[in-house]
Amino acid sequence: MKRSPLIIYPEFEKEIVHSEYQRTKLIIGISAVAFVVVNVNYLFLDHASSAFYGGFASYYRVVAWLVLFGVYEFIVLQWITFQRNRYGRVTEGFRFVHTLIEITFPTVLMLYMLHTAHLLSFVDSPAFVVYFLFIIISVLHLDPRLSMLTAVVAAIEYAALIYYAYSLMERDSTHDLEYLPANSMYLRCVLLVVSGLAAGYVAREMQRRIHLSFDLQRAKSDMEVLFGQQVSREVFSALIKEQGKARKQEATVLALDLRNFTSFAETHSPDEIMDFQNKIFGPIIDIINQHQGIVNQILGDGIMATFGTPVENPLHPDMAFQAALEIVYKVRALYKEGTIPETRVGIGIHTGDVITGNIGNEHRKQYSISGSAVIIAFRVEQMNKQFQSELLITDAVKDRIVVGKATLIPLGKQLMKGFGNEVEIFRVQA
């Protein structure tokens, strides 16, 4: 969708002031090069061309003009720097006035030379090329209006110079260039306007693309916020980066269930159920995030989280274990504070290989974590009912954690439903 040039985003204003800063630095650099070229040409190289344009008198006037122009651009650069640091922008009025002053500089030089030297050759001097230089660089204004203003003002001023040189000025006949008709010179004004149209088109296209990039960035940020409410930002980033391709890696799966939630839901209103879920799941999700875990699913009475995927983390078993301990402590604290009714959780943790990627069809896909590690984690979580516990881990987790003040109680090898191999289980006394 195209936007009006008058609709300026804050981000675009920053881009404008940065572009104005770079543009002014570029002009100062070009002026410095021109200063060196003029001096080298006059002092060491072609004396014939210097004599053609008036000799020493013209030389020092051109040098003085370059110095004056460079000083002006340096002052402008300092002003832009001040505005950028203090306000983060430059005003539109300043940019228009600066454009008018800037494009008038070559006009003043040629007019002064015509008036003092009475040489028609100055209408065709290299100073004329400065107009085209300003038109080209006007693209960095990122405003097609300024590109057209530069070209139109240059064309009008140059037409006035031509009229003055051919119709009003007393000319030096020894340096007369009558073989160049005035009409051929006026055609250059048309070329200036056409160049302005081309520069304006490029500036408009640059402006449109910058706006489009900002729109895409904002849309992406909005999508991250919206999608991040369904899955974590890390999962969102993985979907964008990997395009949902299947990937196998080691991870730790944490399965959590709220005990007796069904009976609670049957005896409370929907608002009370939602309030209870928010009060208990909110802190639990925060704890998982703080330990670099990813919440993959939020069920009515439980959570599935993974550690070590999609963002790899070699400490994922201990991260999951420490998060589980903190969840147990937090749920107890919420009950003691009176925030939630008496609640117990059941948590199972297992480390193993998982498969990540998109599952579904072309109409509906979902980022999913699957594999035996996921199934075992849920089987272990269900065993909390059997052992009257809150937190159970497998030996695959036990060998890679820092137990700290918790106590591990071995429960022996247990047969997992659907698996032929037994898994050694440990009860965590927190």
**290-296: average pLDDT:** 88
Which residues have CB under 8 Å from 372's CB, separation 6+? 352, 353, 419
Lowest model confidence (mean pLDDT) among 55-64, 143-152, 420-429: 55-64
**334-341: average pLDDT:** 92
**93-97: average pLDDT:** 93
In the prediction, which pLDDT does 150 show? 95
Range picked from 108-112, 229-233, 309-313 for highest mean pLDDT? 108-112
- Give the chain's length: 430
φ, ψ dihedrals at 313, nearest 5°? -155, 110
**216-240: average pLDDT:** 61
pLDDT band at 5 (very low <50, low <70, confident <90, very high): very low
**Residue with the two structure tokens 């539109």:** 92
In the prediction, which pLDDT does 244 show? 58
| Distance in angstroms (rounded) separating the CA atoms of residues 251 and 249 | 6
- DSSP secondary structure letters along 173-237: GGG--TTS-HHHHHHHHHHHHHHHHHHHHHHHHHHHHHHHHHHHHHHHHHHHHHHHTTS-HHHHH
Beta carbons of 323 and 288 less than 8 angstroms apart: yes
Lowest model confidence (mean pLDDT) among 41-50, 234-243, 246-255, 375-384: 234-243
What is the share, in percent, of the chain residues with pLDDT greater than 70?
A: 85
Rounding to the nearest 10 degrees, give the CA dihedral for residues 33, 36, 40, 43. Answer: 150
**112-137: average pLDDT:** 85
How do beta strands 391-394 and 407-415 pair?
unpaired
In the prediction, which pLDDT does 172 show? 58
What is the share, in percent, of the chain residues with pLDDT greater than 90?
A: 52
Six-digit token string for 196: 């302005």
| Distance in angstroms (rounded) separating the CA atoms of residues 310 and 349 | 18
| Distance in angstroms (rounded) separating the CA atoms of residues 44 and 252 | 77
Cα 287 versus chain centre, distance: 29
**80-92: average pLDDT:** 89
Which residues have CB under 8 Å from 35's CB, separation 6+? 63, 66, 67, 70
In the prediction, which pLDDT does 6 show? 40
Whether 401 shows a pLDDT value over 80: the answer reads yes
Which residues have CB under 8 Å from 46's CB, separation 6+? none
Which SS3 state, helix, strand or coil, does residue 348 take? Answer: strand
Handedness of CA 76, 77, 78, 79 (dihedral sign): positive
Lowest model confidence (mean pLDDT) among 141-155, 222-236, 259-273, 372-386: 222-236
pTM, 2 dp: 0.56
In the prediction, which pLDDT does 280 show? 93
**300-328: average pLDDT:** 91
| Distance in angstroms (rounded) separating the CA atoms of residues 251 and 248 | 9
Which residues have CB under 8 Å from 305's CB, separation 6+? 253, 254, 256, 288, 293, 294, 295, 296, 320, 323
In the prediction, which pLDDT does 50 show? 64
Nearest to 308 by CA among 316, 296, 319: 316
Q: What's the mean pLDDT when you consider all of the chain?
A: 85
pLDDT band at 301 (very low <50, low <70, confident <90, very high): confident
8-26 pLDDT tens trace: 566 788 888 999 999 999 9
**261-278: average pLDDT:** 89
Lowest model confidence (mean pLDDT) among 40-44, 100-104, 394-398: 40-44
pLDDT band at 377 (very low <50, low <70, confident <90, very high): very high
Beta carbons of 382 and 358 less than 8 angstroms apart: no
**Counting beta carbons within 10 angstroms of the beta carbon of residue 343, is it exposed (0 to 12), middle (13 to 18) or buried (19 or more)?**
middle
| Distance in angstroms (rounded) separating the CA atoms of residues 114 and 157 | 14
Beta carbons of 417 and 379 less than 8 angstroms apart: yes
In the prediction, which pLDDT does 225 show? 59
157-215 pLDDT tens trace: 999 999 998 888 776 554 554 556 778 889 999 999 999 999 999 999 998 888 788 77
206-221 pLDDT tens trace: 988 887 887 777 766 6
Which SS3 state, helix, strand or coil, does residue 22 take? Answer: helix
